[in-house]
Amino acid sequence: MLFDLPAPMLAKAVGAIPDPARHPGGLLFEPKWDGFRVLAAWDGTDVELGSRGAKPLTRYFPELVEALPRLLPRPAIIDGEIVVATGPAGSRRLDWEALSQRIHPAASRVALLSEQTPAMIVAFDLLRDGDEDLTALPFRERRERLLALLASAPDPLHVTRATTDAAAAADWLSRFEGAGLDGVVAKPLDDSYQPGKRAMLKIKHARTADVVALGYRVHASGSGVGSILVGLYGEDGLLRQVGGVSAFTNARRQELVDELEPLVERDAEGQLVRAEGERSRFSGSKDVSFVPLRPERVLEVRYDQLEGLRFRHTVQFERWRPDRDPRSCTYEQLEHVPRFDLDDVLEG
């Protein structure tokens, strides 16, 4: 690869749609795509799909590696998101589970999934156009160059829709969640590209739910509570794990050991019972065991969205709810999001 990929520019969370008038030069609002962040580069010979982290994505998306040289009119580095959409025409939505399954060690499985659940790139910035490095240009100019470069590019390349209207962005925040998107991003139009810096603003959905504490994982240090596993009761009466709460301070981790002690399951000899947690393709050899708790204590958590029967991201502890009966913690309390066709987001 002839190009060096920079670290992607990041975003910091804010609680509401920001006022463009408070930002010299204005803001451009975009839907927040829920996928794998990618810097997609084609140098005229090779394609590289660089992730936000250290893991390259190139080998997992052969359909994108094939498409970029065919669809790009010249070498480029595109900043965007790899997403997978599923569902019937007129009711498609982003599918995080289908996307996460694409990260598989077997080449044969990768090839099969590239046909069964093909991915696409939704582009939102252009860092290089041919021989020209664009990162020093203001975002408004990089956006114009991106539109010119991909003006006629078909699927699987798309340019995200965008607006300078804060009211339209607020409408997107409400409606586009039904297509699997998870918020809105605001970008200063006069800013250069700032690798690794949180120079953008993101507004995500935030809700609360009452959940049951069903276990905890010991912190990686070997001392204290690293995360509390939480669950909800389904219509069948079964308690299902739906996610975890973490990000406790050192002092709080130790306090939680004592607070949760009365609920800890122990064997006949008084020893802690250990259970094996759910393992995913991302956990590898990581210890996923946990200490089970009797499902008697309720806590309120903040979450952004549900993916299937689980919270999409780690949730945040809000408060204990001693007034709540654990059996009342069901999926019915969660907000129902009206479905929205992803194609209307892509083509708008």
Catalytic residue numbers, as ranges: 32
Residue 67: in which H helix or E strand, if any?
Answer: helix 62-71
Cα separation, 210 vs 298, in Å, equals 6
If DSSP codes are grouped into helix, strand and coil, which group holds residue 100? helix
CB 240 within 8 A of CB 231: yes
As beta bridge partners, residue 276 has: 289
Q: For residue 20, report the phi and psi dihedrals to the nearest 5 degrees.
A: -60, -30
CB 118 within 8 A of CB 61: no
Return the DSSP state at 88. Answer: S
Cα separation, 4 vs 289, in Å, equals 40
Cα separation, 348 vs 342, in Å, equals 10
Q: What Å distances lie between residue 175 and 32, 132, 147, 267, 340, CA to CA?
A: 12, 38, 25, 50, 7
**Which residues, 6+ apart, have CB-to-CB distance to 180 below 8 Å?**
34, 85, 93, 94, 95, 96, 342
Cα separation, 80 vs 124, in Å, equals 5
Return the DSSP state at 73. Answer: S
If DSSP codes are grouped into helix, strand and coil, which group holds residue 236? coil
